[in-house]
Amino acid sequence: MYTRNVREIIEALIFSSDGALEIKDILKVLPGISENEVESMVNELNKIYDETGRSFMITRASNGYMFVSRDGYTQYIKALMPPFRLSRASLEVLAVIAYKGPCTKQDIDLIRGVDSSSSLKTLVHHELVNVIAGRPLRYVTSKKFLEVFGLNSLSELPDLDQFEELFGKA
Amino acid sequence: MSSLQAGTEFVLRLPRFEGPLDLLLYLIEKNRLSIEELELCPIIDQYLEYINAVRRLNIELAAEFLDMASYLLWLKSSSLISINSGTEDSELVNPMAELKEMLAAYRGIKIAARNLNERQLLYRERFPKGRTPKVEADVSKMDIMAILKAIASIRERTKHYVVSIKRDRYHIREIMGRINSMLQKKKKVSLVEVAETRVKSEIIAIFLAALELSKASIVRLVQKSIYGTIYMVRRSESFTSQNKRDPLRYK
């Protein structure tokens, strides 16, 4: 049916993608292949990488797949690019947007009780947050946000109520 | 009193508070209270203590901390009033409940933020293919030569756009003096004669000086036709010492 192994076609697609490649895009290229088949082939690929001692693997994020380095290589990569960390303030702003978004800056300030301008700027700059045009501007988390935090969708975030259970009604 | 001790402890912890709500949550936890059973009095005292301690150190406090302080005091006073009058306002929004709600919401976000932080593997433990995160240059860690080099390169790049403007300053009073001395030699002087340069700002200054002199009744402005030359004609008697008003001091 295809001139190449489907498994390797999937590998090529993920390899050439900038950021996570969504499964539905893979299915578009390969009609007749199911989502489960894609998943099992990705598992096979990962097994091959593991067995042949590759330094990378395919990981799931943002309803798709992307190549990332394996954990053992972190210290060497870190020498070239400093790890990316967000400040507590930025993480709080990001959390508000992830749980309450799309929301305005005013919404965010209200929940945090402080001005959030500079954190918002950082988050937009790092493309973790997208701006929805309009008056007032509204903010939503981006595809990159899902990638960075290893989520397929926002619904995978634990419920805020669940936190209450986890940490008690302190 | 534990206040002094507590004060010093707070100061050390200062950078950890993201805002007034954060500080309140800390105090509530420290007092082993829950948001539900929040009692205002001890919390308010400690809150104000903290703010005073910070101010003693001359550290600038975000305005939000002070806003919250006045809000808490208002809350305390309004709760006292409602106890005295014995009216449990059921229709009005209970401000205390509102504060509790705010605290609970913020605490949820705080925990969610911590959870996000723990989730993050990408760019920390695992790096994606061929995508370098945008890293902000940390200016505080750069050596001075690198900064000077950067400034030089910016200068070089923007050289063509830099136009140096020389500002000519003309004082109207100075020009009024100039006109004065000219009018002492002859009775009639044209505006153009006064100008020493063709600079626009000087022409404007001369025009304004002429208006001032005319207003002070020292000269009469004469123009024969539209766009014609404007002359200043000395008013005969006003220019002598009889005139008590010193034109040069005229503002």
A95 contact B CB<8A: yes
- Model ipTM? 0.82
Residue A22: band (very low, low, confident or very high) from pLDDT cuts 50, 70, 90 = very high
CB A144 within 8 A of CB B134: no
Which tokens belong to A135? Answer: 């008056």
Ranking A28-37, B39-48, B235-244 by mean pLDDT, the lowest is: B235-244
Count of pairs with CB atoms under 8 A, one residue in A, one in B: 127
Claim to verify: residue A92 and residue A141 sit in the same structural domain = yes
Please name which of B18, B113, B118 lies closest in space to residue A95, comparing C-alpha atoms.
Answer: B113
pTM attached to this predicted model: 0.62
**Residue A1 domain-assigned (yes or no):** no
CB A106 within 8 A of CB A137: no
Burial classification of residue B249, based on how many CB atoms lie within 10 Å of its CB (0-12 exposed, 13-18 middle, 19 or more buried) = exposed
Interface test with B, best of A91, A97, A151 (most B CBs within 10 A): A91
CB A131 within 8 A of CB A124: yes
Interface test with A, best of B67, B116, B136, B138 (most A CBs within 10 A): B116
Tell if the CB–CB gap between B120 and A149 is shorter than 8 Å.
Answer: yes
d(CA B41, CA B44): 5
Tell if the CB–CB gap between B108 and A69 is shorter than 8 Å.
Answer: no
**How confident is the model over A34-86, as pLDDT tens digits?**
999 999 999 999 999 999 999 999 999 888 999 999 988 888 888 877 778 88
Whether the per-residue pLDDT at A138 is higher than 50: the answer is: yes
Please name which of B124, B106, B126 lies closest in space to residue B114, comparing C-alpha atoms.
Answer: B106
Q: Give the gap in angstroms from C-alpha A135 to the nearest C-alpha of chain B.
A: 25
**Residue A111 domain-assigned (yes or no):** yes
High-pLDDT (> 70) share of chain B, % = 76
**Residue A83 domain-assigned (yes or no):** no
Mean pLDDT rounded to a whole number for chain A: 88
**How confident is the model over B55-110, as pLDDT tens digits?**
777 666 778 888 888 888 888 887 777 655 545 555 556 777 888 888 888 888 88
CB B206 within 8 A of CB B175: yes
Please name which of A94, A151, A71, A147 lies closest in space to residue B131, comparing C-alpha atoms.
Answer: A147
Per DSSP, the three-state class of A59 is strand
Claim to verify: residue A109 and residue A153 sit in the same structural domain = yes
Residue-level pLDDT at B164: 74
**How confident is the model over B121-133, as pLDDT tens digits?**
888 888 888 755 5
d(CA A75, CA A69): 11
Phi and psi at residue B133, to the nearest 5°: -70, 150
Claim to verify: residue A69 and residue A100 sit in the same structural domain = no
Question: For residue A29, how many other CB atoms are within 10 A of its CB?
Answer: 13
Domain that includes residue A42, residue range: 6-78
Tell if the CB–CB gap between B131 and A59 is shorter than 8 Å.
Answer: no
- Closest partner residue to A71 (CB to CB) among B115, B116, B125 is B125
Burial classification of residue B19, based on how many CB atoms lie within 10 Å of its CB (0-12 exposed, 13-18 middle, 19 or more buried) = buried
* Tally of domains in chain A: 2
Which residues 98-137 on chain A approach chain B with CB closer than 8 angstroms?
A: 98-99, 111-115, 125-126
Which tokens belong to B30? Answer: 């420290």
All residues of chain A having their beta carbon less than 8 Å from the beta carbon of residue B20 are 113-114
| Most confidently predicted of A134-143, A154-163, B134-143, B163-172 | A134-143
Look up the CATH number of the domain holding residue A148. 1.10.10.10
